[in-house]
Amino acid sequence: MTLAQVQAFVAAFLGLVASLTGLLTTVAVLMPAHAARAHRALDEAPKRTFLHGLGMVAAVVLAFVLLNIQNPLIKFAGFCLLLVLTAIATLGGAGLAQLMGQRIGEMSGARTSFGFLVRGSLAYSLGVACPYIGWLILGPLSLICILGAGVASLRPVPRTVPAGPNQALSVER
């Protein structure tokens, strides 16, 4: 292995970490309500989120099966399904970055919420990019969790509208 190959690998590694950090930060900033719901799902009900994510793994397997079928229309359907699942995982990943950033911020005593978010995104990106343990353990487990959190972030939140002085009526958006 030459020095140029080592440098190319390091540059690719740093580029992927920076890209994932930027993606998670951008999604959390542009879609704060969805990221907050994913954050809340991961924080309040991690077991339920993991189980929902396990159910979504079946959809991921289905997408890869569809991609391997030779019919172009079925292959396109598999690609579209994989694209939707990636978008859902990105929403869940933004929530996970918020959760990690909040916990890192509590430990460090930092004051800015944007700093929390960037730190959480960077910590998550570096953890997943870590050879072997990140790739084979943290990556798949976090993918299951963020798929479940992404599904939770897409559910509508019921609003309460006062119906009277002593009653509240739940209304779906």
Domain total for the chain? 1
71 occurs within a structural domain: yes
Calculated CA dihedral for residues 57, 19, 153, 110, nearest 10 degrees: 130
167 occurs within a structural domain: no
Give CA–CA dist 51/54, Å, rounded. 5
Contact indicator for 142, 57 with CB cutoff of 8 Å: no
Residue 30 DSSP SS3: helix
150, 125, 108: which is closest to 24 by C-alpha? 125
Residue 160 DSSP SS3: strand
99 occurs within a structural domain: yes
Model confidence, pTM: 0.85
Contact indicator for 37, 52 with CB cutoff of 8 Å: no
148 occurs within a structural domain: yes
168 occurs within a structural domain: no
Q: Please list the pLDDT of the chain residue by residue as tens digits (173 residues).
A: 899 999 999 999 999 999 999 999 999 999 999 999 999 999 999 999 999 999 999 999 999 999 999 999 999 999 999 999 999 999 999 999 999 999 998 888 777 789 899 999 999 999 999 889 999 999 999 999 999 999 999 988 777 666 656 555 555 54
Q: Which domain holds residue 34?
A: 3-156
